[in-house]
């Protein structure tokens, strides 16, 4: 979903203006957004070590608390998380998203698998008849050792892993799906370098490249 179909960065102004108020500038907002994600990753790693499931909202609340303490910002962390989630639901499509969804949903079974709380997710997927798998629903994340989300996906469609193409922008998308034997495709919009031992089967920079990949791999069976 996020950074694959929709661009969360399109809502940075709306996320940070209520927090920064008269101190808001684009530069400060971008700086604080980066600091927030740094805090998020720190807490994410700590939480994953516990082996317990935590909602994304809980991780962000801790992350905002650290940021507000560091920058002496007087703002309610719960309100910050609620606004963040609301803006996630309003994230802008990438330029090619609508045409891609209209085309692909007519030819293939398509679903969204997202490391997200339900409250974060834009509801446009309903218009295209896409099934939604979220971490909150299954109390698991895409790169959990248990691989619950991908196992549930395969069970839902009663399909072999090699007949599924999973497209995503993150390490978790690729490593988690690969662990379950699913064909993987990394959407690399920022032209980054892949630095992990487990490599994606395909690398693209735009959703427009996916249909060509699907045609190329159909010889091994129908790709869902």
pLDDT of 9-18, one tens digit each? 999 999 999 9
Q: Note whether 178 and 194 are within 8 A (CB).
A: no
Q: Note whether 85 and 117 are within 8 A (CB).
A: yes
**Full set of structural domains in the chain with CATH:** 6-89 (1.10.150), 94-220 (3.40.50.1000)
pTM of the model: 0.92
What is residue 220's predicted lDDT score, i.e. its pLDDT? 56
Return the structure tokens found at 106. Answer: 């007519």
What is residue 43's predicted lDDT score, i.e. its pLDDT? 97
Once rounded to an integer, what is the mean pLDDT over residues 56-66? 98
For residue 132, the SS3 value is strand
Q: What is the pLDDT of residues 122-153, one digit of tens each?
A: 999 999 999 999 999 999 999 998 999 999 99
State how far the Cα of 166 lies from the Cα of 182, in Å rounded to an integer.
7
């Amino acid at each position: 979903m996020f950074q694959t179909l929709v661009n969360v960065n399109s809502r940075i102004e709306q996320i940070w203006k209520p927090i920064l108020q008269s101190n808001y500038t684009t530069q400060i907002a971008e700086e604080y957004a980066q600091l927030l994600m740094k805090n998020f990753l720190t807490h994410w790693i700590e939480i994953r070590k516990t082996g317990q499931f935590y909602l994304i909202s809980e991780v962000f609340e801790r992350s905002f608390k650290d940021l507000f303490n560091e920058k002496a910002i007087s703002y309610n962390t719960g309100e910050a998380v609620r606004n963040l989630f609301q803006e996630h639901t309003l994230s802008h499509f990438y330029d090619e998203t609508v045409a891609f969804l209209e085309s692909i949903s007519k030819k293939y079974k398509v679903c969204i698998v997202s490391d997200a709380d339900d409250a974060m997710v834009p509801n446009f997927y309903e218009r295209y008849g896409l099934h939604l798998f979220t971490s909150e629903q299954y109390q698991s994340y895409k790169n959990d050792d248990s691989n619950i989300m991908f196992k549930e996906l395969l069970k839902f469609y009663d399909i072999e892993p090699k007949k599924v193409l999973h497209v995503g922008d993150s390490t978790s998308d690729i490593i988690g799906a690969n662990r379950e034997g699913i064909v993987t495709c990394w959407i690399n919009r920022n032209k980054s370098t892949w630095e992990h031992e487990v490599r994606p089967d395909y690398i693209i920079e735009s959703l427009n490249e996916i249909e060509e990949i699907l045609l190329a791999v159909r010889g091994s069976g129908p790709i869902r």
